[in-house]
Chain A
Amino acid sequence: MSEQKPGWKELPRGAVSTKSSTEYETGDWGVEQPEIEHSKCTKCMLCHFYCPEGAIKVREDGYTEVDLRYCKGCGICAEECPVKCITLVRKK
């Protein structure tokens, strides 16, 4: 049963979004998600820099990992990885 959406009199004026953008977990937009094979990774961090969402973080140990809450599965990381250690896997 879907909720009744608010009418125009109830919405905040100015079309302002009052939620923090961190609450919009766009990770569920993606059809595929990247898997990074750390054994092949050279810690170049290019995937971290290229990710348009900033969803790839660099860990303490220098390897990178994907924040699946925000990854939209665009595949740019896989495309840019110089050693091709990132593969896109269909989500279940």
Chain B
Amino acid sequence: MNEQILMGLNGDEAAAYSTKQVNPDVVAAYPITPQTIIVERFSEYVADGEVDTEFVAVESEHSALSSCIGAAAAGARAFTATAANGLALMWEMTYIASSLRLPIVMAIANRALSGPINIHNDHSDSMGARDSGWIQIYCENSQEVYDACIEAWRIGEHPLVQLPVMVCLDGFTLSHTMENVLTLSDEVVRDFVGERKFIVVEGHKGETELRLNPEVPLTMGPLDLQDYYFEHKMQQIEAMQQALKAIPEVDAEYAKVSGRSYGFLYPYKMEDAEVALTGLGSTMGTVRYVVDQLRSEGVKAGMIKMRLFRPFPAEELVETVGEVPVLGVLDKAASFGAPGGPLYEEVKSVFYDEDKKPFIADFIHGLGGRDTSPRMIRGVFESLMEIRGKEEVPQKVSYVGVRG
């Protein structure tokens, strides 16, 4: 394992620093709170000559991702970052990036989608992009952001995968909060990410890498009619399935290099739990604190922090929940008109076919950066205990911390 330096970095700085160490070919980005520090810090590295990156100051987020797509199509490693309405503005391009199989890495400083305008944290932005074909990793702290922004390149560029990756960090809560981060050396990071690997295709001038090269011309992103589009989508579906195999490979290699072993899910005190809570992002840190409190009071509480949302780790989730009778789902986004929040819907549908399934209840919280305190989490566990006692779910979807 390599020597590491402890640095005080907020989530944005961790994303910028790790990206500096990766030294991508192109960064094209547009500022939006709370991602601004990522791009500002990175542009300082560019100005100081600490990276070889071509920094493109674009006029909008749509242009940012479009530039990254062009760069990645030409064979470059391209990085960008955005949040909320910035992600919404580049929405159409997210589908282009994934369907063209371009392993772009994008940091999302999760922020509520407007309107009303709210610059604070919730997951509505990245949840809104969950169908776009991007891999989604959610981070609990700055250390995870640092590590994910390095692993993301190897995950996206894995020969079985070749898909773009979103690294999600809670806006302000993580992006602007300084934490201890153990950082690797530039050399170790560069060795780990190595050179970008490409898909190999049969071009009309012979076998070639899937990238724009005047010597071996290809057309990327041509027209598909009714007779081919569906088949191309199947390839993307397959790539996501393959990511479930590829990600543990990358995680294992990263563990050797950093000493930090990542996975899809983190069970905590689940072995004999009566009630458990699952969710994404920084709130799970608060949940862990509450679980410890409850345990000291004799309550058999447990939790599962989810790191990977796309592809959805269904098998592992079912295995990790095991025999736990009640599972609460924390959703930091609402899906208007849907039976529940996005995470709840996925969790519930995963368990539908299982013989043993827990009672599942949805707890939508934190919208627009509404603070979810330990006391509120205790309240959620109390609801779960009630479900445990009654053996039924009186309210499938609850809203935590809202007035009225």
Contact = CB atoms under 8 A, between A and B. Distances in A.
Q: Do A and B come from one complex?
A: yes
Interface of A: 5-8, 11-21, 23
B232 interface: yes
B204 A14 contact: no
B219 A14 contact: no
B222 interface: yes
Query: Size range of the interface on B?
Result: 20 to 34
A8 B231 contact: yes
A21 B101 contact: no
B228 A11 contact: yes
A8 B234 contact: yes
A11 B232 contact: yes
Main secondary structure of the interface of A (DSSP, over half): loop
A11 B219 contact: no
B218 A11 contact: no
B261 interface: no
Given A7-B231, A8-B231, A11-B228, A17 B222 contact: yes
A15 B202 contact: no
Closest 7 CB pairs of A and B: A8-B231, A17-B219, A8-B234, A14-B101, A17-B222, A12-B201, A15-B232
Contacts, number: 64
B219 A5 contact: no
Contacts of B1: none
Contacts of B228: 5, 11, 15
A13 B199 contact: yes
B100 interface: yes
Interface string B327-360: 0000000000000000000000000000000000
Nearest to B220: A16
Given A12-B201, A14-B201, A20 B210 contact: no
A6 B227 CA distance: 10
Nearest to B216: A18
B224 A18 contact: no
A5 B227 contact: yes
A19 B204 CA distance: 6
Contacts of B199: 12-14
Contacts of B232: 8, 11, 15
B10 interface: no
Given A7-B231, A8-B235, A13-B162, A18 B222 contact: no
Nearest to B217: A20
Given A5-B227, A21-B219, A15 B99 contact: yes
